[in-house]
Amino acid sequence: MAVIDLANPTRFLTLVDRVLPWLAGVTALVFAYGLYRVLGAPDDYQQGATVKIMFLHVPAAWLGMMGWGVMTVAALGTLVWRHPLADVAGKTAAPIGAAFTFICLVTGSLWGRPTWGTYWVWDARLTSVLVLFLLYLGMLALYWAAEDPNRSARAAAILALVGAVNIPIIKFSVEWWNTLHQPASIMRAGGAAIDASILIPLLIMALAFTLLFFTLHFAAMRNEILRRRVRSMRIMQARSA
């Protein structure tokens, strides 16, 4: 089945109905295995049991950024190919990405209290994630402000692209500040700096959270399509009444 076949929302809905239970099941299984591995992972010699927060914090940070990536691809789909489902995908990715970014901020804050001795510092990484969260909130505000979903679609797509250009700039600009958060320790030259006993559960949890992201995203897309159908039915009903 080609991507263009999915342009038909009805066909997309039947596909989602078929795939979603399996996706949800696989997500639950990977989560169960990941949590089992997390409970079996050793405590950090310095941080003790608080290192377990990482298994929630790091995947949430990755997915918060991936959410904007999904929105950027969807924005191209809206503006370039006028794909009818692209706006649905972008609109529904925004709250999910915002939620993961929020989880990242909250867990990071709770992790920072025992290890750094403070809930919040104005450090480069924390600040850039906070700005990402603010951009998500702006995007949600844009969707709330528009009455007609077709009108908000293009505007949101342009904002998503502008944000995609700006996020690296914001990231590098705040990197100028003196920084407390550790630098990247998994995707770096020379291999990961984490022991395998912690790295492997982390990667499994990251996979589980990514599957969760897509499960939620597909479900939200289905709901959005149905919501728009209800809206147009109401308009037709009002017109004929």
Task: Name residues contacting another protein, limited to 69-88 (CB under 8 A).
Answer: 79
The residue from 11, 32, 36, 151 that contacts another protein (CB under 8 A) is 151
Quote the CA–CA distance of 22 and 56 in Å, as a whole number. Answer: 23
Smaller CB distance to another protein: residue 162 or 233?
Answer: 162
Contact 181, 123 (CB under 8 A): yes
DSSP string, 140-191: HHHHHH-SSHHHHHHHHHHHHHHHHHHHHHHHHHHHTS---SPPPSSSSTTS
DSSP state of 46: T
Residues 93-132 that bind another protein (CB under 8 A): 131
Distance CA 202, CA 182 (A): 17
Which residue, 17 or 175, has its beta carbon nearer to another protein? Answer: 175
154 vs 181 by CB, closer to another protein:
154
Name which of 166 and 197 has its Cβ closer to another protein: 166
Among 155, 184, 233, 236, binds another protein (CB under 8 A): 155
| Among candidate residues 71, 83, 78, the one with its CA nearest the CA of residue 7 | 83
Stretch touching another protein by CB under 8 A, among 18-26, 60-68, 158-166, 197-205: 158-166
Q: Which residues bind another protein (CB under 8 A)?
A: 79, 131, 134-135, 137-138, 141-142, 145-146, 151-152, 154-155, 157-159, 161-163, 165-166, 169-170, 173-174, 176
